[in-house]
Chain A
Amino acid sequence: MSTATPSADNGNGVMTLENLAKFPEGQKVYSCMQCGTCAATCPYGDDLAFPPRAIITMLEAGLIEEVFNNPGLLNCVTCYACMAKCPRGIKLTEVLLPLVKEQVFTHLKEVPAELQKALENTMRYGNPMGESPRKRALWAKSSPVPVPVIAEIKRAVDVLWFVECYPAYHPRGHDGNRATAKLFKALGIDFAILGNEEKCAGECVRMAGETGLFEMLTDANIKLMRKYKFNRIVTGGAHAYDALKHKYPAAGGDFEVHHTTPFFAQHLAQLKPKLKKKLDYTVTYHDACALGRHNGFYEEPRALLQAIPGVKLVEMNHSGVNSICCGGGGGMWLDTYYAEKGCERLSERRVKEALDTGANVLAVSCPYEISRFEDALKVAGGEKRMVVRDVVELLAEALED
């Protein structure tokens, strides 16, 4: 079974569903008191077939094969809500669900077409969109701030910027990239990117249950990054951050890693005097699952937004730990599959809440969310009332020109 589980080897080998009890965090699974909070918190609770509570029952009853043979767990978008709410503190999304999801994925009679294409593309081209790897760094030409490639400058840098696939290829991602470059420059940070050599960090692949492919990507990226000298990695990808922070170390890639939002928040004292342009926006912030619930960055994005002159921050009904997943993450390539199953699109549920706040800007910190929410706003008829902006885009806009 998986070698990509979050457990450190404690002398019992790699954690599997069979030897769970040999690991402290695995043993905790058996402390479940069947309260059902997990199922009630889950945004797709009704569609899972086996919510975490039921998975644990089946595991204890020796009937886990039945869970493997049901595609229901494809509806787990890996939002960390059940884990955040479990009164027993069971690491559901971190420990139990990945082990089960991997088996569900392997047992699938047919992989949903959109997901299959994304996996095949990631395997061949290193990005789920199936774009040429030779064009991965092409966006940098459009950046007014020069963006050096580490292999070309042939020297150590302070920050290695892990760009990730969506920002590298998606036009709306390029906007965020140009903003990030501008902010690095404003702070006098010495940075470089990996360029065309970078591959998908792989977190969405892992969350879909394709752990073998995740390991391939992890190995390739770690081998690549070890070639270069840098102090720390900064990435704008919320899931790339999650993978680099929590999964790469076990595979031998123990780097200091930051996400752009908390990274710039750390530099707020230095940044704030430079945020001179007044932005008359009412902003609501969507907490990305990977940054908020999984890593506790609730204050950082808000501190940055409030540092922008003119910005008025308003909160959605569900925010912070109660934030509702955009449906990306573990469900990134399953929109068509969910639609065919008749499930509500989570991004649409989320933008309706955002629109209800009366804000005219929906601020995000995960590159997937931009296109997901922009699409959802069109469906909800709110695209004239609200725009979606990465926090870095707003910061860069507020910088004095």
Chain B
Amino acid sequence: MDILVLMKVVPDVVEELEVGPDGKSLDTSFLRTIINERDDHALEQALLLKDKHGGKVTLLTLDAPDIDDVLFTALAKGADRAVKICGVESVQSTQTAVKLFGETIAKTPGLLPVDLILTGVSAIDDLDGLMAAPIAQQLGWAYTGVVTQVALADKTATVIKEFAGGVRGEYEVPTPAVLGIQAAEKPPRYVPVAKVRAAMKSMTIETVDAPAVEAATTVEVQQMAKPQVTGHAEMIEGSPEEVADKICELLAKRGLI
């Protein structure tokens, strides 16, 4: 059972995001990127399946700052092969990312065949989850998303999908298939730095040139702005009696008592 995992980076929201001078995009001078969390879960799900069934796990990513660390960490965790697509901006519109991944998968020898392609079902810059489905369409494979469990058998995958309100459904998907992973069956594993360093010495990251794709122009960003602060909390200070008086006063003023 061979699995291809698609990973991309997204802006790291721990760092404060700034709007760029064009008022339509993020200021890249402060931007730090981080691997899309759900893609990390896709990797974990692939490794769990490998632990169970054997086979090979290959990673395909778009080049980004620090991406080598991510890839070597994945190799140290148990992935077999890491390939990065070079010559691209690290943060792409989802539509462009789909084209880059799709073309690369089709044209790079040795990436296919696989039984499954796993990727995060969504990302903070792709809340609609528009990555995996178009890639499945392009390959003519089945797709299903919001997956939280995968069991593999010959020519089928049985997956658990999560719906709103705690409802779950079990589906059978013919393989090869593309699955959008919501969460792996277990949280992504930790690998000690010493093992990552060993992977850096013993393994290599392959590179492929980005295919020439036309920039997608399906959606145009008109304006980007930070949320406006519309209200604030007021701390009432003083002795308990004073605080109680002030609370009564406020409630009365707002017509609540």
Interface, chain A (partner B; CB < 8 A) = 105-106, 110-111, 113, 116, 119-120, 123-125, 130-132, 134, 210-213, 215-216
Contact = CB atoms under 8 A, between A and B. Distances in A.
Nearest to A214: B193
B194 A212 contact: yes
A215 B15 CA distance: 25
Contacts of B187: 113, 116
Contact of A111 (B14, B16, B190): B190
A169 to B, nearest CB: 12
6 contacts: A116-B190, A132-B15, A134-B30, A210-B192, A212-B192, A212-B196
B155 interface: no
Would you call the interface of chain B mostly helix, strand, loop, or mixed?
loop
Contacts of B193: 123, 210, 212-213, 215-216
B138 to A, nearest CB: 34
B14 A125 contact: yes
Contacts of B30: 134
A340 B197 CA distance: 32
Contacts of B14: 125, 130-132
B48 interface: no
Contact of A105 (B16, B189, B192): B192
Nearest to A213: B193
Contact of B194 (A113, A125, A211): A211
B53 interface: no
Q: What are the 4 closest A-B residue pairs judged by CB atoms, nearest first?
A: A212-B193, A212-B194, A111-B190, A116-B190
B34 interface: yes
A119 B34 contact: no
Q: Which of B14, B189, B192, B197 is the most central at the interface, judged by chain A CB atoms within 10 Å of its CB?
A: B192
Contacts of B190: 111, 116, 119-120
B121 to A, nearest CB: 22
A132 B34 contact: no
A294 B30 CA distance: 42
Nearest to B13: A132
Nearest to A116: B190
Interface string B191-205: 011111100000000
Contacts of B192: 105-106, 210, 212-213
B194 to A, nearest CB: 4
A330 to B, nearest CB: 16
Contacts of A215: 193
B14 to A, nearest CB: 5
A124 B12 CA distance: 11
Contacts of A216: 193
A134 B15 contact: yes
A124 B189 contact: no
Nearest to B196: A212
Contacts of B189: 110-111
Contacts of A119: 190
Given A110-B189, A113-B187, A124-B34, A134 B194 contact: no
Nearest to B197: A212
Contacts of A120: 190
A132 B190 CA distance: 21
A212 B30 CA distance: 28
A216 B197 CA distance: 11
A1 to B, nearest CB: 9
Contacts of B197: 212
